[in-house]
């Protein structure tokens, strides 16, 4: 699995929004998740490719059943990663970012919803996030609720929830073949 830390997040090109969330040297950060309830969460099965010198995500065409070769990138051995591109409001900066998280983060989110989004939307709770490093050298995060108020999503800056066509490129099998041959898409950046 292609692993990367938050320090590499800048390599991922993103259009729209302020980009990817990172700690920028902070020991902790104060954030709200821009979700009401668990139904707002979207996970993506993606391939990581390089386009114009930048890492990008492309939606995997395999639906989990049948012949995996319907997806040319699967066929060529590109690893499929589960991604959660989590919209967060950075309270310290007053900016909406996308937090690029992997498969395991889904379970963290489920727990946060179960604990803090019973009576109010999850976005009503402000959390202190601490970034720590585990024994294997990978970062992990702890969440401590600071306070809950009556903030709703409409009180926070506008953002696009879905990453499809934006942070996760949607390409056809033909377009993927084109990429595999030429390392580019003809209609690159049109989405």
Sites of contact with Zn ion (CB under 5 A): 60, 62, 71, 73-74
Minimal distance in Å, beta carbon 13 to Zn ion? Answer: 20
Closer residue to Zn ion, CB minimum distance, 49 or 73 = 73
Closer residue to Zn ion, CB minimum distance, 71 or 117 = 71
Minimal distance in Å, beta carbon 40 to Zn ion? Answer: 25
Closer residue to Zn ion, CB minimum distance, 33 or 78 = 78
Closer residue to Zn ion, CB minimum distance, 67 or 119 = 67
CA separation, residue 59 to residues 71, 173, 181, 186 (Å) = 10, 11, 18, 17
E strand or H helix that includes residue 116: helix 105-116
Minimal distance in Å, beta carbon 126 to Zn ion? Answer: 38
Rounded distance between C-alpha atoms, residue 50 and residue 31, angstroms: 30
In the chain, the DSSP E strands lie at: 28-33, 43-51, 54-59, 81-90, 95-102, 125-133, 139-148, 168-169
Minimal distance in Å, beta carbon 9 to Zn ion? Answer: 23
């Amino acid at each position: 699995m292609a692993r990367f830390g938050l320090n590499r997040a800048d390599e991922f090109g993103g259009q729209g929004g302020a980009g990817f969330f990172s700690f920028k040297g902070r020991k902790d950060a104060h954030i709200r998740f821009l979700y009401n309830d668990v139904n707002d969460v979207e996970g993506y099965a993606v391939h990581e490719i390089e386009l114009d010198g930048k890492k990008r995500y492309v939606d995997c065409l395999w639906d989990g059943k049948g012949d995996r070769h319907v997806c040319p990138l699967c066929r060529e051995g590109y690893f499929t990663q589960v991604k959660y591109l989590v919209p967060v409001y950075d309270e310290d900066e007053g900016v909406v970012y996308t937090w690029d998280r992997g498969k395991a983060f889904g379970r963290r989110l489920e727990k946060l919803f179960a604990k803090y989004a019973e009576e109010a939307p999850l976005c009503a709770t402000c959390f202190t996030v601490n970034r720590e490093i585990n024994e294997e050298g990978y970062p992990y995060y702890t969440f401590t609720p600071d306070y809950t108020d009556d903030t709703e999503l409409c009180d926070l800056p506008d953002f696009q929830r879905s990453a499809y066509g934006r942070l996760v490129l949607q390409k056809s099998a033909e377009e993927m073949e084109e990429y595999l041959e030429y390392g580019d898409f003809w209609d690159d950046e049109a989405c």
